[in-house]
Amino acid sequence: MGDTSSLEEGHIELEARVSAEVNAAEFQAMNGLLKPLALQFYLERFPYLQIVDAASTIKDDISKVSFETSLCDWRIHQYGKVAMSASAGEFLFCDGLIDDGFRGEEITGFLRFRGEKPAPVMLYGFLGKILNFKIKFDNIEAQFDAKSHLEIPGLAWKSKLAEEAEQIVSLTPSKVGNYPIYYPDKRVCGHLTVLEVPKALPRHGTLMHQADITAKRMVQLAVEQDWEGIVVADGSQRMKLVAWVAAKALQIPIEGVDYNDQYDACFDRVMTHSSQHLAQLVKNTKVKSQVSSKERSGGNG
C-alpha cells in the first residue's frame, strides 16, 4: 500500500514538473526567449504543408474548395486545381480556442465592408450549429441603404440588416456544401463552407507518421492533376522533406523545401530500408497524361 501511495506521489510530482516546464517554454516562446532549436522542436509538433502548382497564376480560380482525406484521415484542402494545404485533423483555421470553437453551440464569422466593392472572404460553418455573422461597416452612410441585407440562396437564407455600424445576424446551416454570400445588388461578399461537426483526431500511428502519409498523398494528387511542378508555399520541415522525397520518386519538380545535403542522405536511407513504400506510391499514382496517351494509342489502333 505504501509503495502504491509513493508511486502516485512521484507521478503527481513528475506531472507537475513537466507542466511547469511546458508553461515556461510557452512563456519563453511568446517573449522571444526560446532558442531557435527549441522553437523548431515545438513547431514540428504542429505539422502542416501548403503547396501550389508551379504553373499557376493570379488568374486561377481558387474560390472553390474541395476536400480529400488522406489514409490517416487528415483533411487535405484543395483550392481549385492549383493549390493544396493540410494539417493535423479536419480544419486549418482556428483562433487557438479549438475546443471552445468546435464544441460550443455557436461560432462567429466576421464580415467587414470597406469601400463599394467588398473583398470576398472565406468563412466556415458547421452543420446544425448557430453561425453568427459579426458585421461591420466602415462607412455606414455610404454603404447602407433600405435594401441592405445578406443572402445565401443555397441555404434559402436572407436577413435584413439594421442601419448600424456593427451588428450580428445569425443562421443555422441545414446542409453541407459551399455557398456564396450575397450583399445587395447581387455582389458576392464572401463564401461559406459548411462542414460536418469535426471528429476527434484519429490515431494512425504517431503524429509524424500521419504527417508523412499526408505529405506523400498531396504530392501524389499534384501528379495526378498534371501539375507542372510543385512550389512549397510554407510548411513544417518534416513535411517539406517528405514532400521532396515523394516528388523525387514521382519525378515531379519541387522547390521551396529548404533543400540541403541531408535530403539526399534521407532519400538514400529510404531507398535502402523502405524502397517498397516508394515503389507502391509510384504504382498507385494515376498519371493523367499517361492515361490520355494510352487512350490515344488505343483509338488509333
Q: Alpha carbon of 85 to those of 78, 181, 229, 255, 299: distances in Å?
A: 7, 24, 16, 16, 38
pLDDT in tens, 79-123: 988 999 998 865 654 333 333 334 456 677 777 777 666 566 778
pLDDT in tens, 239-283: 999 999 999 999 999 999 989 888 988 888 888 887 787 788 888
- In 3-state terms, what secondary structure has residue 111? strand
Mean pLDDT over the full length of the chain:
77
Instruction: Determine the pLDDT at residue 251.
Output: 92
CB 91 within 8 A of CB 67: no
Across 15-26, average pLDDT = 60
**DSSP letter for each residue of 11-32:** HHHHHHHHHHHHHHHHHHHHTT
Specify the pTM: 0.54
Instruction: Determine the pLDDT at residue 113.
Output: 75
Domains along the chain with CATH numbers: 44-62+71-90+202-301 (no CATH), 92-195 (2.60.40.420)
CB 152 within 8 A of CB 171: yes
Instruction: Determine the pLDDT at residue 143.
Output: 74
Instruction: Determine the pLDDT at residue 245.
Output: 93
